[in-house]
Chains A and B, each alone.
Chain A
Amino acid sequence: MSNLKEKLQAFHEIASSPKEQLKKYLEQNKKVVICAPVYTPEEIVHAMGIIPFGTWGADIEIKEAKTYFPAFICSVMQSVLELGIRGDFDGASAIIIPSLCDSLKCLGENWKSSVENIPFIPMVYPQNRKADFGKAFTKAGYERVIADLEKATGLSFDDAKLTESIEIYNEHNAVMRQLSDCLSDYPEITAADRSAIFKSAFYLEKSEHTALVKGLLSELTNTEKTANNKIKIVTTGILADAADLLKIFDDNNMQIVADNVAGESRQYQVDAKPAETSLDSLAGKFAEMDNCSVLFNVDKAIAQYTVDLVAKYQARGVIFVMTKFCDPEEFDYVIIKKACAEKNIPLLLIEIDRQMTNYEQVRTAVETFKEILK
């Protein structure tokens, strides 16, 4: 196996074994806190010496969670709850759930009764996040998370430690942005590979993940670039990690050259900048976050952002990967569609769900889209 393949394989193994990763940290006597999407303040968890362990649910059959959620709540929430109920997070000290969409609010409320052995810590973010009163509220939310974490783990918070963690997270952000750019030059890296690199970040302490990604980047720079005959696309949405979906992209010779997917690049757009305290720095980071369906933006900047990504990376089209029942994305889709149409950018909408077992409809749609792009 080549060095490159070995390095890629490591990401695949981590991305496909969250339970084993969790077990590994627990066996090292580390405290672990589950971080539900989105914009969970992992830096705070990290600064307290706890492993922030991300979850976006899993492609599993929903059984027990159905007694809590109606069918029309998105499968990310449903499967996070299902994993909690069936014990996949056992050993974790708590779960932090932000309430940035209506379904996330419900996840937190349902969690309290259904997974009693893992305390629920809410993170309430403001939508008017850019003004000083918004930043003050974000900071108050972080302080509440800290108090709850201290109670759940017995560990304490120190602002100086947060400075160090912010540096680690900023470096990880930068490395992930660099990675996404770099991969566009290496068509042999498949959509499945790319997804595994992003997904594995949830299950590793961030400096460990940074080291792995740096290793891959260094390997790539030593790899000769080959002619790129792939069809360059930009993806946007909440989540695009289903193995069957990625296989369809790869089978159709498509290369994701950039994305605005919440579980991939969207979270790495903004770094924390120096401020009076590290907590202020983190609140400032959230204030700057944008181009996201769950963050208020009256200008719908996400539409222009999508168009700009296409231009910057010379993509042939956009694939909007819609997580079924995600209404924030469903609203944004209409505006993004319009913005793309105005620039003659082909756009394909595909709807996915964590409980999907048959992707043939998606395959047909992607095949047709490929013909259009040709």
Chain B
Amino acid sequence: MSNEVKKKYVPDPNSAKFKLGKIAADAYVDAQAAKDRGELIGWCSSNFPVEIPETLGLSVCYPENQAAGIAARGGGERLCNISENDGYSNDICAYARINLAYAKTKDAPEQNMPAPDFLLCCNNICNCMIKWYENLAKELNIPMIIIDIPFNPDYDVSDAQVAYVKAQFLDAIKQLEELTGKKWTEEKYQEVMEYSGRTSRAWLAATAEARHTPSPFNGFDLLNHMAVMVTARGKKEAAEAMEVLEKEYKENVQTGNSTFRGEEKHRVMFEGIACWPYLRATSTGLKSRGINMVTTIYADAFGFIYDDFEGMVKAYCNVPNAMNLEHARDKRVKLIKDNHVEGLLVHTNRSCKLWSGFMAEMSRQISAECEIPHVAFDGDQADPRNFSEAQYETRVQGLTEIMESKKGGC
């Protein structure tokens, strides 16, 4: 037995990983500090236009991020059980079940966050969000502001939709001003928009480095970094951290390094939200076979590039879960082609009806157009009871064998 003491890993404070991790962690600390100062704080759905609370100087927390964190640290089932005991079906999104339980118990050692004074809801990710926030508003007896961004069955966003959503953005700002006493200023909005643009451009550039073979990063990194893209895009620190990430990935390409450990034998695209309770199992299942998940739709989804208020409105209408099959398919096809992806690994997520509800057909169309194999496995973003490691292993093995045979292996 070695007497060597294993040194605790200390990330470089100048690294993107450290900076991005700090931004995500500080979000909870800052919100609690604001609450302690007596400010009103909000809970906010993940694709609510972050520019609105940011410009108004409001502190918000993101229940989806908290639920993912709780699930990754093993608390998902415990909180799901609390909601189920209150009558919530176990067929309901596990993020919602975790959060509704947290709203009741107000304590989770895995990740706490301050209680909300108002709710900001946007359904461009799913309509389940509306029901979840309605119930929160009722149970907590607090105001809920909703921006309804309907699923767009057409390829392009119509003028009617832009007008409808824009009116709601303005209405939401007005409601928040009245509720919190904070004021919207054009100057601050311009600043937020500039940071959001910088953050987005750096994110898109960083993730696009996967076009190199081998990729300079392990795609599982994106699952962690996206939290900052979702919640802190409009902050100066986020722009700076993402620019560091871009620089690091570019340097990796030059030096031949990668955050993916081992030989990159195959490159896949991962479809769906991560199985947070089984992050290690899902990651190891790929890594052990030399498979790097080089891209996901997140790589494209959170690059919000726009020039003005109306452009921002349009960008929020064009997020992945709000677009039709053809548009969603083409975005994925581009990522697959740009990044030389050899296989598609689809998470059929029990928690997400919208994402999984037409994924089978989309996968077939992607597979046909890109001439790559696809496999799906059953799982859940936060409820550990809906995932089978054995099934995952079998499906990934199957995908590997097809990718190998396509390469001429045996």
Contact = CB atoms under 8 A, between A and B. Distances in A.
| Candidate in A112, A137, A327 with the most chain B CB atoms within 10 angstroms | A327
Interface in B71-99: 86-89, 91-93, 96
Contact of B360 (A70, A122, A324): A70
Contacts of B17: none
Contact of B361 (A105, A110, A124, A134): A110
Contact of A296 (B87, B134, B160, B361): B134
Nearest to B135: A331
Contacts of B88: 330-331, 334
Given A99-B153, A105-B354, A128 B160 contact: no
Given A102-B357, A106-B357, A335-B138, A327 B91 contact: yes
Interface in A107-148: 108-110, 112-114, 120, 122, 124-128, 131, 133-134, 136-137, 140-141, 144
A99 B158 contact: no
B163 A133 contact: yes
A136 B160 contact: yes
Contacts of B130: 127, 296
Interface of A: 67-70, 72-73, 99-103, 105-106, 108-110, 112-114, 120, 122, 124-128, 131, 133-134, 136-137, 140-141, 144, 293-294, 296-300, 322, 324-325, 327-328, 330-335, 337
A120 B358 CA distance: 15
Nearest to B362: A109
A144 B161 CA distance: 12
Interface of B: 86-89, 91-93, 96, 123, 126-128, 130-132, 134-135, 137-138, 143-144, 146, 148, 150-154, 158, 160-161, 163-164, 167-168, 171, 324-325, 348, 350, 353-354, 356-361, 365
A125 B150 contact: yes
A109 B324 contact: yes
B361 A113 contact: yes
A335 to B, nearest CB: 6
Contacts of B365: 113
28 contacts: A69-B357, A70-B348, A73-B353, A100-B127, A101-B127, A105-B151, A109-B357, A112-B325, A114-B361, A122-B153, A124-B151, A124-B153, A127-B146, A133-B168, A137-B161, A137-B164, A140-B158, A140-B164, A296-B130, A298-B138, A300-B134, A324-B91, A328-B131, A330-B88, A330-B91, A331-B128, A332-B131, A334-B88
Contacts of A322: 89
Contacts of A68: 358, 360-361
A67 B128 contact: no
A334 B353 CA distance: 20
Nearest to A349: B87
